[in-house]
Amino acid sequence: MDKNTLSAENRRKNILSAVLGIICIIYVLPVVAVVINSFKVNTYVKTNTFDIPTGEMWAGFANFIKGMTFGNYPFWKSAMYSTLITILSTALILLFTSMAAWYIARVNSKFCKAVYYLCVFSMVVPFQMVMFTLSKTADKLHLNTPWTIPIVYLGFGAGLAIFMFVGFVKSIPIEIEEAAAIDGCGPLRTYFSVVFPMLRPTMISVGILEIMWVWNDYLLPVLVLDINEYRTIPIHIQYLKGSYGTVDLGATMALILMSIIPVIIFYLACQKYIIKGVAAGAVKG
Amino acid sequence: MDGKKKAGFFKNPLRRWSWLFMGPVCAAFAIGFVWPFIQGIYLSFCKFKLIRDAKFIGFGNYVSAFADETFKHAFWYTALFAIVSLVLINVLAFTIAYLLTQGLKRSNLYRTVFFMPNLIGGIVLGYIWSMIFDGILSHFNTSILLESKYGFWGLIILVCWQQIGYMMIIYIAGLQAVSEDMLEAAKIDGATKMQTLFKVTIPNVMPSITICTFLGLTNGFKLFDQNLALTAGQPFIIQPDGSNIKTTEMLALNIYNTFYNSSSGSQGTAQAKAVIFFILVAGLGLLQLAYTRKREVQQ
């Protein structure tokens, strides 16, 4: 290639890059809108949505202070329950489904195959199919508190996790585990000191997918939990509307901003794993 | 023979621990999926308000589900929505993925930005966009809750914003797997950029296209949170018989409303609707499986 076409190619690439840059700026505008409106006096949010809050529009941190107790339920409590449920559920799912997946892949009896295919089947069942009966069952078994709802998440979320773990275990050579067994490790020790560390990459992928699912989930907790007592962040945001008749948009935006800041920090910190995990979860099959 | 013996030597001690390895997952899976699923199928043939006073009535619930105008409306609305969003999301995601694999400057930064909305939950997304749409529409003295076409396109814009980044990631993985040699060969043979794209690149990323197509379709059908938070079915049209058609209500929301926000005695109908919905979504999933399997054989 001669110099002219090369620089023409470079120029074309620079223009493309600039165009994409502009699209990216447009892409983050909704988040920018949340930020500017969370500092705006409520009455101006609807009329001057896209103006920078200055002068009498500027509300300072009033929306944030108001938002903390807005909607008859303290926001910090919702945030705490969301965090608790997400951490507990993800930990439960990672521990128990990986153990079951190892057993399924290695023992491979008829029962194991049945459980495995049931799990695969559960992945195509939409939540609406089981939501009524599931919430009644959970109620009856007292799984309706933030400390016990992770069991429901383990049950409904087992499918994808088992599927991903079994696929991965099948790719690890069994000889390593056999060597451990010959050296006198029982199944428990073989699992925790030999298999568990090898599962790390899949643990991260499954963990990311479960965290994203549980943290953002609205329907399951709203049906299972007693919402006067316990709320998660999505429930909190949804119920702001019902509680005062007209919504205080400024305070709502302040709460939304507070709820997406941790998500964005989490994303920027583990971006590599998140993108990998999402790609792994999508290419199931 | 030797291999079998060895496997037994390893397997048998493991079997003694089955209660620990399989027990928790099986118990939770039974509570969280198997039992509710079976009970759900059974209840779709029953008239009930509470589960314990369920009475078997055969296919009555299915008949009333299919006769329900709001359900039919929700079905066609959802189907239209799923197809429009599927096409838009995939075309845009593929275009962006294609551009981002051309070795442009700052590609990684752009990828980060495009994927970001995917992490925000559906409810929160709904309120962010309802503020934005109403901020624009209030200048024209209207609102997203007043016109069903605003609700439709508003939801389309919302899911595009949310899901383009996700599909883009899958397409980028597919595009990066296309071999350089093939692209080089096409170039040497004098193919233009467009010819290379349509004759070499696209046929080679067909598996990604299949995955994204079905994902887009099932995501469209299952959409709930965003629909609830953005319009919750508004605006409503009152029918001559006094019932309401919620013009922007999708299938999942219709089922939810039939369960929880409807006159008493409609729970059976709601459960029947849920079974129909399940068959629809699972059918799409199985179709995908069959389709990808077939492609794998061909390759």
Supply the pTM of this predicted model: 0.88
**In a domain? residue B38:** no
pLDDT at B3: 45
Interface residue of A20, A191, A206, A236 to substitute, partner B, most B CBs within 10 Å? A20
What residues in A contact B13, CB-CB < 8 Å?
A: 181, 186-187
Instruction: Give the pLDDT confidence of B127-164 residue by residue, as tens digits.
Output: 999 889 988 888 888 888 888 888 899 999 999 999 99
Distance in angstroms (rounded) separating the CA atoms of residues B262 and A33: 36
**In a domain? residue B97:** yes
Out of A17, A279, A282, closest to residue B105 by CB: A17
Closest-CA distance, A66 to chain B, in angstroms, reads 18
**In a domain? residue B141:** yes
**In a domain? residue B18:** no
pLDDT at B274: 93
**In a domain? residue B211:** yes
| CATH value at residue B113 | 1.10.3720.10
| Cβ contacts of A239-242, under 8 Å, gap ≥ 24 | A239/A71, A239/A73, A240/A70, A240/A71
Out of A124, A159, A263, closest to residue B120 by CB: A263
Interface residue of A47, A133, A235, A237 to substitute, partner B, most B CBs within 10 Å? A133
Domain count, chain B: 1
pLDDT at B292: 66
**In a domain? residue B14:** no
- For residue B216, the Cα-to-chain-centroid distance in whole angstroms is 6
DSSP assignment of chain B equals: -HHHHHHHHHHHHHHHTHHHHTHHHHHHHIIIIIHHHHHHHHHTTEE-SSGGG-EE-TTHHHHHHHH-HHHHHHHHHHHHHHHHHHHHHHHHHHHHHHHHTS--TTHHHHHHHHHGGGGS-HHHHHHHHHHHHHHHHGGGT--TTT-HHHHHHHHHHHHHHHHHHHHHHHHHHHHHTS-HHHHHHHHHTT--HHHHIIIIIHHHTHHHHHHHHHHHHHHHHH--HHHHHHTTTPSEEE-TTS-EEETT--HHHHHHHHHHSS-TT-HHHHHHHHHHHHHHHHHHHHHHHHHHHHHHHH-
Residue of chain B with shortest Cα separation from A234 = B123
Across the interface, do A30 and B117 touch by the CB < 8 Å criterion? yes
Across the interface, do A106 and B102 touch by the CB < 8 Å criterion? no
Higher-pLDDT residue of B193, A80: A80
Residue A242: which pLDDT band, with cuts at 50, 70 and 90? low
Interface residue of B17, B21, B53, B234 to substitute, partner A, most A CBs within 10 Å? B21
| 3-class SS letters over A134-156 | HHHHHHHCCCCCCCCHHHHHHHH
Across the interface, do A100 and B22 touch by the CB < 8 Å criterion? yes
- Contact status, residue B30 vs residue A155, Cβ threshold 8 Å: yes
What interface predicted TM-score (ipTM) does this complex get?
0.87
Residue A3: which pLDDT band, with cuts at 50, 70 and 90? low
Closest-CA distance, A16 to chain B, in angstroms, reads 8
Average pLDDT of chain B?
85
Higher-pLDDT residue of B215, B262: B215
What residues in B contact A99, CB-CB < 8 Å?
A: 20-21, 24-25
Instruction: Give the pLDDT confidence of A10-43 residue by residue, as tens digits.
Output: 888 888 888 889 999 999 999 999 998 888 887 7
pLDDT at B135: 86
B208: containing domain: 81-298
pLDDT at A177: 85
- Contact status, residue A159 vs residue A122, Cβ threshold 8 Å: yes
pLDDT at A36: 87
Out of A129, A154, A186, closest to residue B277 by CB: A129
**In a domain? residue B42:** no
Instruction: Give the pLDDT confidence of B80-118 residue by residue, as tens digits.
Output: 999 999 999 999 999 999 999 888 888 888 999 999 998
Strands (DSSP E) along A43-175, which ranges?
none
**In a domain? residue B235:** yes
